[in-house]
Structure 1
Amino acid sequence: MPSVFARRTHDKDRLEKDVKQTLYKCYLRFIEVLRPTAFVMENVKGLLSARNYGEGVFGHIRADMEALGYELHSMVVKDPERPHDFIVRADEFGVPQARHRVILFGTRSGCGQGAPGVMTPRPVITVDQVLGEMPRIRSGFSSRVHDKLDWKEYVRKAAEKLMLTPEGSALGPSLEPVMEGKHLPSAQHADGIGAEDRNPLSDWYRGHLAGSGVLPEHVARNHMDSDLDRYLFCAAYAQEHKTCAKLYDFPKYLLPNHKNAEGAVEGKEVVFADRFHVQLSDQPSTTVTSHISKDGHYFIHPDPSQCRSLTVREAARLQTFPDDYFFMGNRTDQYRQVGNAVPPLLAQQMAQVVADWIDEPSVGYYR
């Protein structure tokens, strides 16, 4: 189901009357015709608080499913009492991403299978654990950069300029290696991958590629030179402060040239003050969405020396796609496919709950 609730609360009346909030009825028609023994339905968290003409959408869904002869169960709470008991937090089940979605497990009444079980929590896995040992690559310059620039020299001078500002001077430990030209990657792509001793999901990712060095679609985007400056600052800030910089934290010369950022200089409230967002190394990533296909501002790599947004392969890893899964089309298409997906490792665990309920054998990564 599409995400129709995100960042749209500014127009409550229009939102309540939005026919997209009743799109679940299309899904309902399939249930009505096919009469499956069980089904699994996914939607965004906003479903729980969304209202349609004054009534809760979640209540409508539950009532309509029950009218068809189905009971709704949670994948994570044995006896759900509240709507929020239906939220599945992917980061609690071995997925390195804080992707929180409503998952409804429906079973046809009278099947005699008993109450279904729930998924088993797994250790939290961080961005650094799954991306930290991937080959280091650099960003490139977009076609809008007319000058022929040397990437390493540009990034080194960008670090020097940043260090001259009050905001940048506090980031010395993260910026000094860049200023000195240490460990700066030379290529925008990687032909292979080495050992991944720190990656607890290495067997899952490498799968059929175990023992080989193949790593597809790990190619960095091109960025505007001004965005390289911002990515450098944001990554260094996150490394030093263990949190993401907001526009209020930026040196003035790095603020985007648009009205939305004007108030940041005076400390006024700014809409989308977190528009440049680093994926913190020691935590699961934020939700990977299809917006990554438009720009990488919300998916900045945590290593300051790489000055770039995430590659398709890195985004795919945060979604737990194995490295041998190939995405078709151009890079924009590939990012969109990654962002629109349910994490395969999470989907497999949900499928095992269903398999156990219908008493069918299953084999999974965590079995």
Structure 2
Amino acid sequence: MIAIDFFCGCGGASEGLRQAGFDIALGIDIDSQASETYKANFPEASFILEDIRNVTIEKVANLIAFKSEDGLLLSACAPCQPFSQQNKFKSDEDERISLLDEIHRFVSALLPEYIMLENVPGIQKIDENKESPFTRFTTLLDNLNYKYDHFIANAEDYGVPQRRKRFVLLASLHGDINRPEKTHGIEGSPVKTVRDFIQNYPKLQSGGIAENDKLHRAAVLNNLNLERIKHTPEGGDRRDWPDRLVNECHKNYTGHTDTYGRMFWDRPAPTLTTKCNSYSNGRFGHPDITQNRAITIREASRLQTFPTDYKFKGAFNAMAKQIGNAVPCELARQFGLHFIEHHDELKESDTNG
């Protein structure tokens, strides 16, 4: 089967689906730096760098027509900021809220065998008292006779070394489809940890860069933050500092303790954000107390389960944004395998029938 990846970003979902066995036919996104990353890693795929609202069905159909004989998966992760609980400034006027509606015309015209929708928990709850992007989408699926299941997926349950909850919808045009069983956090298969994915990278200090990998480069910390991280044990945070190092705004505030924190070696990482290479923006300090720095772009990408040689393009902060916004590759791989298993069972049933 082939896959089209709408709002593909730097290619997390596409990479996972490719690993599962899909041919990646097309990526679509409006972010020019993410597009360069995508094209560097998927040279065989077509790419449309454009606002989805301006992309025509004909253009997409023409780019995939010669590849789609064995079935089609449509993957979409519309911008999640309008639905995120972390967005304190979200508004009903945010134009991004309607971007999921743009998928309707492609689903209706192409009738893909499978659909994978991924977003933040909350997309299914927004505007619960009135019609919402999610209810409009499920109404479309009902009208087109799709069967679907939607659920909150914990990334660590599927082999991702990260506590990351995502809303997922899996749909099939050919018979019932349910969520896949957990692969980790069960007997005989513990969750993956930070240590499993980044322990073998060369040691660095603030501002350091590895000779053989320019993406393994640590951001520069100022003197105050250097002193702070030196007072932070593995898994620790600002509660471990002497009072003189604590920001005034934090002295009588008990929330957001992940800021300025170090990760734990033997636990999943916290949710990586678009500022995952910044020490002051989350629990992104390296767990090794001999390395006084934030994690690097390469380490962040590994915690999102990108391959060790995955290419990233653009400025460093743009790379961090791409990584933080990505679908973890291993999560997409597990869902891709689930679709392929479903597809193979249908073919076997048709043959035997």
Shared fold (TM-score greater than 0.5)? yes
**Structure 1 match to 2:231:** 233
**Structure 2 match to 1:34:** 110
**Structure 2 match to 1:148:** none
**Structure 2 match to 1:281:** 265
How far residue 284 of structure 1 moved from its aligned partner, in angstroms, is 0.5
* TM-score scaled by length of structure 1: 0.63
Q: SS where residue 289 of structure 1 aligns?
A: coil
How far residue 233 of structure 1 moved from its aligned partner, in angstroms, is 2.2
Q: SS where residue 307 of structure 2 aligns?
A: coil
Percent identity of paired positions between Structure 1 and Structure 2: 29
Q: SS where residue 298 of structure 2 aligns?
A: helix
Structure 2 unmatched runs, 5+: 1-77, 347-353
Structure 1 unmatched runs, 5+: 75-85, 141-187, 193-214, 362-367
How far residue 8 of structure 1 moved from its aligned partner, in angstroms, is 5.3
Alignment of 1:322-337 (within 5 A): 322-337=307-322
Indicate whether 1:20 and 2:89 are aligned. no
**Structure 2 match to 1:201:** none
- Alignment partners' CA distance in 2, 1:9 and 1:191: 38
- Alignment partners' CA distance in 2, 1:96 and 1:44: 18
User: What is the CA deviation profile of residues 272-317 of structure 1, one whole-angstrom value per residue up to 9, with x for unaligned ones?
Assistant: 4532232221210111122236665321111222111111110011
Aligned residue identity for 1:98: R
Indicate whether 1:134 and 2:118 are aligned. no
Q: 1:321 to 1:226 in 2, by over 3 A?
A: same
User: What is the CA deviation profile of residues 197-234 of structure 1, one whole-angstrom value per residue up to 9, with x for unaligned ones?
Assistant: xxxxxxxxxxxxxxxxxx55212111111111122223
Aligned residue identity for 1:128: R
- Alignment partners' CA distance in 2, 1:331 and 1:296: 16
Q: 1:293 to 1:54 in 2, by over 3 A?
A: farther
Tell me the C-alpha RMSD between the 2 structures.
2.8
Indicate whether 1:73 and 2:71 are aligned. no
**Structure 2 match to 1:204:** none
How far residue 67 of structure 1 moved from its aligned partner, in angstroms, is 2.3
Q: SS where residue 326 of structure 1 aligns?
A: coil
Aligned residue identity for 2:84: A
Q: SS where residue 32 of structure 1 aligns?
A: helix
User: What is the CA deviation profile of residues 83-136 of structure 1, one whole-angstrom value per residue up to 9, with x for unaligned ones?
Assistant: xxx11111111111112111111112xx3x554572441230111222222211
Structure (1 or 2) with the larger CA radius of gyration: 1
Q: SS where residue 327 of structure 2 aligns?
A: coil
Indicate whether 1:97 and 2:192 are aligned. no
Answer with 58-67 or 318-327: which moved more: 58-67
- Alignment partners' CA distance in 1, 2:288 and 2:278: 22
Q: 1:117 to 1:315 in 2, by over 3 A?
A: closer
CA contact (8 A) 1:16 1:50 kept: no
Aligned residue identity for 2:274: S
How far residue 19 of structure 1 moved from its aligned partner, in angstroms, is 4.9
Q: SS where residue 79 of structure 2 aligns?
A: coil
Q: SS where residue 328 of structure 1 aligns?
A: coil
**Structure 2 match to 1:200:** none
- Alignment partners' CA distance in 2, 1:8 and 1:139: 28
Instruction: Choose which of 101, 118, 121 in structure 1 pairs with 2:183.
Output: 121
- Alignment partners' CA distance in 1, 2:226 and 2:147: 52
Alignment of 1:51-66 (within 5 A): 51=127, 54=130, 58-66=134-142
Aligned residue identity for 1:138: Q
Q: 1:31 to 1:226 in 2, by over 3 A?
A: same
- Alignment partners' CA distance in 1, 2:127 and 2:265: 37
